[in-house]
Chains A and B, each alone.
Chain A
């Protein structure tokens, strides 16, 4: 029987989960390095401005922790190799944006050359 171990990593980071209702549709294929939006935190109340959409959300503590794992295959001698999962991060809370976004306009966006991403409701 195959066994895949979950190995605790001493360098496990603390991450947060950012949950947006629906799907974020963008016109760009590659998102690497791009800006998603501006994030404002006031206690447990959150505001995220994505393009000309304003999302309101809150901090939610998770009842059970989530672990982010990454599969790692270490080649051993001969043909064998061992595959394990390493913990990358532990998540104990999430930023939940579960409301419909509101339109939000600012001068900066109106004058900007970059077209903002569009949020569609699923």
Chain B
């Protein structure tokens, strides 16, 4: 047991230090750089050479003292510390910046001033990211260094060169795992179109479809390829995935509106590939999607295809998801997965954000009724003004308990079914029983066949009428979409109720519910409650 007195230090003052919590993998040594980075408007991030962290202020309501146990003195006090969490910087702006002035051939270079271009250090300075993360990203978008500046190649020029390379490889019958670079450049130089180009720009083209053999220390983007290190590039091999990506992009982008049948596309695509590379459907799925969402039951439905280069998508998971849903509002899970794998765990990200993204999707849908919805309308019947209270009850089974309580005190019931869906007609029995059980026996009941605008009818007029006759209901057919008969249906119902009240068969304002609302609207003469009961859950609103 030790006992000591604790004192405040002679220079004690609060808030003279900053406290930061660092992950154990960050070692504070002279060799490794560790710094806060950001512009005045940004929230700062913390960078090492390889990683980027976002910074959060963790406030504490407790008193935090820094205790220096050497002399048992309290050096200072604070109420917060900084917490750091790993993050992925969004490099998309870098791509946009580089693609503004792509390398599009030697003759075009004269028009470009160096001021418009960026060195690696300049790019790094613009990004809240670590050095190695930026390098990795630039590699993924196939950027290269030319005359000290970081560039990407115009896709047309790059495509043409790669087409030539693949053609030469095929023609020469080279082993696709050992393609000699110097011999290839000799042959390329003989082609008129690109004879003036420096051979260094062939290297990024090759990077797009293959990898270098025997390149021990990979030459990263910070080192420009020059006479000194060009010797290192001896031979390369074609990469199956990269070649398929490239071919798919060329094929789709030359005629983006063409509609393909799946099998035709595969056959045609296979012919375009080098003879030693076979088509792999799984790889194709990583870069080509169908433009529309197609029911998997329909086979060989011709559709437009889109090529998606995941490198061009934002690296921030949420932004990436938004972008993907902008391109296509509905995805199958196995279809979207390949496009998310690069930045995050697909399942995790989808469960986190998918609800938000589908709400951004544009397909229109009328929301279903939750519990009940309520509207009022004043109509004139003979000389009296009648106020209708229309209660729209929910159709789904799960709301049944709630909706029943609203039947009480209703003066009229409108049972609505969907003439284009027989299921809703078959359910009428249940609804009718409910309505009879919970309402006054003199209640006015109407049967309404809705959606007559849909030509594909499943329930005929006669069937509707028969059901109505059997059960002593009035029958009307309407279309909420075009507005046909809707007004009529309500007016007729109101008329019936009016008549019954005048005859004294129906008492007014019996239910508690109705009273509460009528108090607010004392001026109107008559109040009747109409329950509009829909057995179709997505019928239009009345």
Contacts and interface: CB of A to CB of B under 8 A. Distances in A.
Interface of A: 1-6, 8, 12-24, 31-42, 48, 62, 64-71, 85, 87-89, 91, 95, 98, 122
B65 A17 contact: yes
A38 B3 CA distance: 7
A39 B34 contact: no
Interface in B3-30: 3-13, 16-24, 28-30
A68 B21 CA distance: 9
10 closest A-B pairs by beta carbon, nearest first, are A18-B65, A8-B28, A20-B63, A4-B36, A31-B8, A5-B35, A69-B18, A18-B67, A16-B67, A6-B34
A70 B64 CA distance: 17
A21 B75 CA distance: 19
Q: What is the interface of chain A mostly: helix, strand, loop, or mixed?
A: strand
A39 B3 CA distance: 6
B8 A8 contact: no
Contacts, number: 150
Nearest to A67: B20
A32 B12 contact: yes
B21 A41 contact: no
19 contacts: A3-B35, A14-B69, A15-B75, A16-B67, A18-B74, A19-B62, A20-B65, A22-B62, A31-B12, A33-B10, A34-B7, A34-B8, A35-B7, A40-B1, A40-B3, A41-B1, A65-B21, A67-B19, A67-B21
A68 B18 contact: yes
A17 B66 contact: yes
Contacts of B8: 31-36
B223 interface: no
A15 B68 contact: yes
A15 to B, nearest CB: 5
B158 to A, nearest CB: 31
Contacts of B7: 33-36
B33 A5 contact: yes
Contacts of A18: 6, 64-67, 74
B38 interface: yes
Interface string B25-54: 000111001111111100010000000000
Contacts of B63: 19-24
B47 to A, nearest CB: 8
Contacts of B30: 8
Contact of A38 (B6, B23, B66): B6
Contact of B17 (A6, A36, A68): A68
Contacts of A23: 63
Contact of A69 (B9, B17, B67): B17
A95 B22 contact: no
Contact of B36 (A3, A16, A98, A122): A3
B21 to A, nearest CB: 5
B207 interface: no
Given A19-B62, A21-B62, A67 B22 contact: yes
Contacts of B106: none
Contacts of A98: 62
Contacts of A91: 19, 66
B229 interface: no
B66 A65 contact: no
Given A16-B69, A40-B2, A70-B17, 6 more contacts: A3-B37, A15-B67, A18-B65, A40-B3, A67-B22, A95-B67
Contacts of A2: 36-40
B21 A66 contact: yes
Nearest to B124: A1
B125 interface: yes
